[in-house]
Amino acid sequence: MEKSKFYLALGSGVLAFSIIWIALVFLTIEGDIGTYANTPRTVPFFLGCCMAILGFIFLYQAKLGFKPKDAIQGIFDNEFKNITICVIFFLVYAFFLELFGFLISTPVAIFLLTRFVLNEKGWKINFLFPVCMTGTIYVVFIILLNSNLPKGTLF
């Protein structure tokens, strides 16, 4: 099986960038990782770890022989339509996030995206995924990072 040089180069680049990112976070930003309260170093360190995981995923895809989409195929009309819908949708979501807050806006937004953009018909995905995703984000930011999420101006 022919190996994909694209994913090998992409994975190596993302992994190298994340290692440099994490090193710079420790060298330039004051704060301790692992303390109860957030420090200025917490979120950049978390982003560096996410980039490292993504780099390993790309390297694994290169090992399995994945290849990127054929460039000749181009973008289909429905892909362009979905991208446009998502951009408009996220602008509207930002407005409603300010009004209704995170806990009300996010599950509704994820439900609408899975139902109408991804065309998911199954009720398990449409109802359980938004609730689980919102709950996971809530746990990460409120409990683990001791941070705040938008509460909304109406409530």
pLDDT tens, per residue, the chain with 155 residues: 455 677 888 889 999 999 999 998 888 877 665 556 667 777 788 888 999 999 999 898 888 887 766 654 555 666 777 778 888 888 888 888 888 888 888 888 888 888 877 777 777 778 888 888 888 888 888 888 777 777 877 76
Can you give the pLDDT at residue 4? 64
The residue to which tokens 């990782």 are assigned: 33
Question: What's the start-to-end Cα distance of the chain, in Å?
Answer: 57
CB count, 10 Å around CB of 31? 15
Q: Are residues 91 and 131 in the same domain?
A: yes
| Ordered alpha helix ranges (H), 101-155 | 102-112, 123, 129-138
Residue that is written with structure tokens 């996030």 in the block: 97
Identify whether residues 50 and 109 lie together within a single domain: no
Please indicate, yes or no, whether residues 116 and 59 belong to a single structural domain of this protein: no
Please identify, among 15, 36, 64, the residue that sits at the C-terminal boundary of a domain: 64
Burial 104-135 (b: 16+ CB within 10 A, else e): bbbbebbbebbeeeeeeeeeeebeebbeeebe
13 by DSSP, 3-state: which? helix
CB 51 within 8 A of CB 21: yes
Q: Which of 64, 85, 106 is the last residue of a domain?
A: 64
User: Are 86 and 126 members of one domain?
Assistant: yes
Q: How far apart are CA 61 and CA 49, in angstroms?
A: 19
Q: What is the model's pTM?
A: 0.52
The CA distance from 65 to 89, in Å, is 35
Question: Are 51 and 102 found together in one domain?
Answer: no
**pLDDT for the residue 71:** 52
Residue 83 and residue 58 share a domain: no
pLDDT of 1 reads 43
| Pair 127, 143: CB distance under 8 Å | no
DSSP E strand boundaries for 1-97:
none
Residue 149 lies in a domain: no
> Domain of 17?
5-64
Domain count, the chain: 2
Q: Do residue 93 and residue 45 come from a single domain?
A: no
